[in-house]
Structure 1
Amino acid sequence: MSFEEDGIVQIKEEEIQQLLKVGAKEPILIDVRELEEYSESHIPGVPLIPMNTIPSMVADLDRSSSYVFICRSGKRSQNVALYLKEQGITNVRNFAGGMLSWNGEVKQGLEWVVKHSGELYQDKTE
């Protein structure tokens, strides 16, 4: 089901759905869109690390973990994956099609935003 583009494995919605269904700890799903996009609609339980903050977060990412990056269409998340691969974080994947192709459950609001310093903002009002 997955395929490769520019050396980055591309995964589809069905694979993300399966990861969520089984509660997989890895790969770690990360949304890289802007705050406004994430607040409007995101996959429940997936944290936001805006693309422009990724360079300042590289040192905080566990190099032994695997990651899947998510954006609106799959282009920004592909660029994040390529960038991190260049930084030595090699187990990175991209959600091909991004949120435009997502038909699963969504949530509104700023549920889980990772700030520049690595601090987390989690909205626990459910």
Structure 2
Amino acid sequence: MAFEQDGIKQVDKEELKELLKSEVEKPIIIDVRELEEYEEAHIPGLPLIPMGTIPTVIDQLDKDQSYLFVCRSGGRSQNVAMYLKNQGFKDVTNYNGGMLAWDGEVKTGAEWVVKEVKELNL
């Protein structure tokens, strides 16, 4: 069940699963872990933009777009969401619990490592 923490909406694994299955417009879901973590196991179809590179691509992100961030435990993704909110982004959400709580399908390898934000097709 969604709740708020430090002004950031939080979703749990069941809500994330529903979002991933949804046919309606959904947020852009981004994994913000490091490449090694992502290669080990990630949610299929999610792009990787490591937390440390977010400041270098922030100008390419649409402040009116909805974003949901995923990391290992929910801490880094929460920090990314708070950072973007402080930069004027209106709709940012954190996946609370992160990959440690994820029990859905996973893939290995570098499926979608974003080098430039235009690869997200915004």
Matches within 5 A, 1:36-51: 36-51=36-51
Mapped contact 1:81–1:93 kept (Cα < 8 A): yes
Q: Distance in 2 between matches of 1:24 and 1:47?
A: 19
Partner residue, 1:88: 88
Partner residue, 1:3: 3
Q: Distance in 2 between matches of 1:118 and 1:69?
A: 15
Mapped contact 2:61–2:117 kept (Cα < 8 A): no
Partner residue, 1:100: 100
Partner residue, 2:110: 110
Deviation per CA, 1:38-76, whole angstroms, max 9, x where unpaired?
Answer: 000000000000000000111111111101000000000
Partner residue, 2:73: 73
Between the two proteins, the alignment pairs up a number of residues equal to 119
Instruction: Give TM-score scaled by structure 1 length.
Output: 0.90
**3-state DSSP of counterpart to 1:112:** coil
Mapped contact 1:26–1:65 kept (Cα < 8 A): no
Q: CA RMSD in A?
A: 1.2
Deviation per CA, 1:2-25, whole angstroms, max 9, x where unpaired?
Answer: 000000000000111011112454
Mapped contact 1:72–1:98 kept (Cα < 8 A): yes
Q: Distance in 1 between matches of 2:106 and 2:24?
A: 18
- The amino acid that maps onto 2:45 is G
The 4+ residue runs of structure 1 with deviation greater than 3 A are 117-120
Inter-CA distance 119–64: structure 2 relative to 1 (3 Å threshold): closer
